[in-house]
Amino acid sequence: MDRPEASALLSTLEPGAPVGVAVHDGELRELLRSPSLEGVEVEGGARQALATGRALTGIELTGAGRAWVGSWYPLERAGRRLVGTVAVDVTEHDAAEASLRASSDRL
């Protein structure tokens, strides 16, 4: 898959989509980012995954008025170090959990 095709596929994850994907190179230059991750800071996790060479998973993030759980994965392609980011929107889950706790506290 070439870059224009990958960009076209990621663009289908429009703002408000409950999942986002990004790819950065070894110098943290953004190569691809789905519109759903606009306003979500993912570079810190990418930096850590690149520095350690190990996946970083299940990290809570906030951005664009939403709550996310992000994971970063070191990648290599054609001798280039990259890092892939996958984030899932957990805003509704977190709100439901808070509501359940509040209901439980009232009982």
Which of 18, 19, 11, 3 has the alpha carbon at shortest distance from 35? 11
Instruction: Say what the pLDDT of residue 65 is.
Output: 87
φ, ψ for residue 29, nearest 5 deg: -80, 130
Tokens of 5: 């095709």
**Sorting pLDDT into bands at 50, 70 and 90, what band is 10?**
low
Q: In this predicted model, what pLDDT tens digit does every residue of 23-81 receive, in sequence order? A: 999 999 999 999 999 999 999 999 999 999 999 999 999 888 899 999 999 999 999 99
Query: Are 56 and 71 contacting, i.e. CB atoms less than 8 angstroms apart?
Result: yes
What is the pTM assigned to this prediction?
0.80
Instruction: Say what the pLDDT of residue 63 is.
Output: 85
Sorted by sequence, the CB contacts under 8 Å of residue 45 that are 6+ apart come out as: 56, 59, 61, 70, 71, 72, 85
Q: How many residues does the chain have?
A: 107
The average pLDDT across 8-29 equals 84
